Amino acid sequence: MVPESFSESLQRLSAKISYQFSDITLLETAMRHSSWTAENDGYESNERLEFLGDSLIGFVVADVMYRRYPDFDEGKLTDLRKIVVNSTALSRVAINLGVGEFVLLGRGEEAGGGRTKTSILANALEAVFGAVYLDSDSQHAYEVAARLLNDSIDEALAALKKLDAKSQLQELAARLERPMPEYRVTNEGPDHAKIFFADVFLGEEMLGSGSGRSKKAAEEQAAQQACAILLTS
């Protein structure tokens, strides 16, 4: 059974997302995990709202990124969106909002630490966005999602910038359905002044070369050159 005070406690969650529900039962549904509804007949789980919220998040993040970063190509926008729209990132937003406190769980999930599980928190957050959409309209739902995900989008950009060239090349190759990068490294000179030379191949095609005082530096330079070629070809 749902605790009598549950609807009242959800007003705190409503305040945290800065949205006042006209129909608080939608937020109640968003908090019902399937493990709870399996033990309590007559209630709908949050899975349908989760489906709706997932679609909303995908659109909002794509739209915000498209407008915010006009110089980014489709590939970079896709990479950025992947960092934001995944269970780990969404669960962090849910944790910041304290969503776990309000989720209704079955006895097994509760005992197993479900209140802190990444997937449960991410799905509950998606359901919250779905509930906002049904309670208002697409514009209000867009504004709520964009505001709550704004920090995640900024963090994603910072994370993307931190990716080294070798990681970027590997992601590019996978996205373009090309062979994984292979580095062929040689070196010259005495041990105290050795210079490394690296060529990077995708299959039989050599796409970049680099040199440096370490194997890592040479491979990084080669990967940077290969990324530039792939992004402009």
Single out the catalytic residue among 50, 54, 135, 219.
54
Which of 28, 79, 126, 219 is catalytic? The answer is 126
CA–CA dist 68, 57 (Å, integer): 16
Torsion angles phi and psi, residue 182, rounded to 5: -125, 130
Nearest to 50 by CA among 90, 101, 10: 90
Tokens read off for 128: 């919250």
Kindly report the CA angle at 62 between 61 and 66, in degrees rounded to 5?
115
Annotated active-site residue 164? The verdict is no
54 is catalytic: yes
First to last CA, the chain: 60
Q: What 3-state class would DSSP assign to 66?
A: helix
* Residues taking part in catalysis: 54, 126
